[in-house]
Amino acid sequence: MATNILIVEDEEPLTLLLRYNLESEGYSVDNVGRGDEAETRLRESVPDLLILDWMLPGLSGIELCRRLRARPETERMPILMLTARGEETERVRGLATGADDYVVKPFSVPELVARVRALLRRAKPEHISTLLRAGDIELDRETKRVHRAGRELHLGPTEFRLLEFLMQSPGRVYSREQLLDGVWGQDVYIDERTVDVHVGRLRKALNRPRQPDPIRTVRGSGYSFNEMFARAH
């Protein structure tokens, strides 16, 4: 399953920037712009990591953080706090309230993504494995390189994200709509048949004569990474 991240931030341009970069890393990202709405959302489902702005309408980030740490369901959820407050006393206050890390605006997006990886590595190491292996295919998330039976494959960025998404859950069937949301993002409006085009490109890059096709087409449903292939080799 893709790692789920919830962004709670009321600055829309910043939210869009964070979503784009995190989704490019293969994460499943959702966002809300108010603290009270975030509290309601977090009672319904708990993400793998929360990116939380300090100053929010409805309910401040610092108060929301305090409440989350008081609930058994969210007491161990990794929280990365964003704020314009750079003073040492404010950083100490944020960490003391329960934030696991603290980033001061303006910040470097690559640094924030690296901090997200570090938090997930500590909290959920199974979600942040650098290498994905299934059958004779190996995908390296750090170097963005893919090998099959020792042969390096040359994939475009979209085909790489598509393969990574499918390899995370072998055997699970994804509809075209789910693949669009997971690989392209929920805010991108493109035809579902675009998925078929990129699956075709991915298959062409993956498969040579007499090699089994690891991508399974489920008629009328969508696509999956073949579970039997993943167990082989």
For residue 206, pLDDT beyond 90: yes
CA pair distance 233, 221, nearest whole angstrom? 28
Q: How is domain 129-229 classified at the CATH fold level?
A: Arc Repressor Mutant, subunit A (1.10.10)
Mean pLDDT across 164-177: 84
Residue of 201 and 168 predicted with greater confidence: 201
Residue 198's pLDDT band (boundaries 50, 70, 90)? very high
Only one residue has tokens 């393969």, namely 163
Residue of 224 and 38 predicted with greater confidence: 38
CATH 1.10.10.10 domain locations along the chain: 129-229
pLDDT at 218: 85
For residue 123, pLDDT beyond 90: no
pLDDT at 147: 94
Per DSSP, the three-state class of 7 is strand
Class of domain 2-121: alpha beta
CATH 3.40.50.2300 domain locations along the chain: 2-121
Q: Are the C-beta atoms of residues 218 and 173 closer than 8 Å to each other?
A: yes
Q: Are the C-beta atoms of residues 167 and 132 closer than 8 Å to each other?
A: yes
pLDDT at 56: 94
For residue 233, pLDDT beyond 60: no
